[in-house]
């Protein structure tokens, strides 16, 4: 693989994290780590990752809940780390949106093989996708936005909010639905007022294309030409 992929290792066992991190870095992966689901979601706020290794049994927020929350806003590949013989956990994890699993203890070679196979599969399925709506062009894979061919700089949440509206053109979302789909479990950080603030900022940044974002009074927002 020519690209240096970024893997996020999520496990509360410090020795496991250090072992996996050391091995993957030797294989030329960029590696970050988190010790629980809350820390994982915070990491995803701060940086882009290509794949997540997610332990199911962790304190504060377990892997099941974290996986469910991630799937509200991201299709990033997820490999579950499960205990030997816990078939029910593997089934539950896959239903929550995980792509694959590997049973502890595992060999470094098996881990690498599963990571590479999932990345190949994911990249084969991903094609460059552009959403064109009026003056607005959204590059989904590149996470970039242009208005009249002029690049527009958006924060991660602004982009996620705009993409959600654009993918569901003409569908009206309530503020509660937008809050749940874009911010997920971050209730302590994001309120319904946060949704309104981001919509306002989006309209300012989009300039002439701001007319695409419609306010449906008493309900919420939608995007339409």
pLDDT digits 0-9 by tens, 40-73: 988 888 888 999 999 988 888 888 888 888 888 7
**Do 88 and 157 belong to one domain?**
no
Q: Select from 125, 149, 167 the last residue of a domain.
A: 125
| 55: in domain | yes
- Which residue's structure tokens are 């892997």? 63
Q: Which residues pair with 224 in a beta bridge?
A: none
Residues 139 and 208 in one domain: yes
Quickly list H helices, the chain.
Answer: 14-26, 37-46, 63-70, 87-96, 108-125, 156-167, 175-183, 192-206
Q: Is residue 1 part of a domain?
A: no
**Cα–Cα distance, 193 to 175 (Å, whole number):** 9
Q: Using omega within 30 degrees of 0 as the cis cutoff, is the peptide bond preceding 105 cis?
A: yes
Of residues 73, 78, 41, 76, the one with CA closest to residue 163: 73
In a domain, 160, yes or no: yes
Distance CA 21, CA 114 (A): 15
In this predicted model, what pLDDT tens digit does every residue of 6-46 receive, in sequence order? 999 999 999 999 999 999 999 989 999 999 889 998 888 88
What is the pLDDT averaged over residues 169-173? 85
Yes or no: say if 9 and 21 are a contact pair by the CB < 8 Å rule.
Answer: yes
**Domain residues for 141?**
130-223
User: How would residue 126 be classed by pLDDT, with cut points 50, 70 and 90?
Assistant: very low
Task: State pTM to two decimals.
Answer: 0.57
Q: Can you give the pLDDT at residue 118? A: 87
């Amino acid at each position: 693989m020519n690209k240096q992929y970024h893997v996020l290792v999520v496990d509360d066992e410090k020795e496991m994290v250090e072992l996996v991190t050391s091995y993957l870095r030797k294989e030329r992966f960029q590696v970050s780590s988190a010790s629980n689901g809350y820390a994982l979601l915070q990491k995803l706020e701060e940086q882009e990752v290509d794949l997540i290794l997610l332990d199911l049994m962790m304190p504060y927020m377990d892997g099941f809940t974290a996986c469910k929350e991630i799937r509200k806003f991201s299709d990033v590949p997820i490999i579950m780390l499960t205990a030997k013989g816990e078939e029910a956990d593997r089934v539950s994890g896959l239903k929550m949106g995980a792509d694959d699993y590997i049973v502890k203890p595992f060999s470094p070679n098996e881990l690498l093989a599963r990571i590479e196979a999932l990345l190949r599969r994911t990249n084969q399925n991903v094609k460059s996708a552009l959403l064109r709506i009026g003056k607005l062009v959204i590059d989904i894979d590149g996470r970039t936005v242009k208005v009249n061919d002029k690049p527009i700089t958006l924060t991660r949440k602004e982009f996620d909010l705009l993409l959600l509206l654009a993918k569901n053109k003409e569908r009206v979302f309530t503020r509660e639905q937008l809050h749940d789909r874009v911010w997920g479990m971050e209730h302590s950080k994001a309120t319904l007022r946060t949704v309104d603030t981001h919509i306002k900022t989006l309209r300012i940044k989009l300039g002439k294309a701001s007319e695409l974002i419609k306010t449906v009074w008493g309900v919420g927002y939608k995007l339409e030409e």
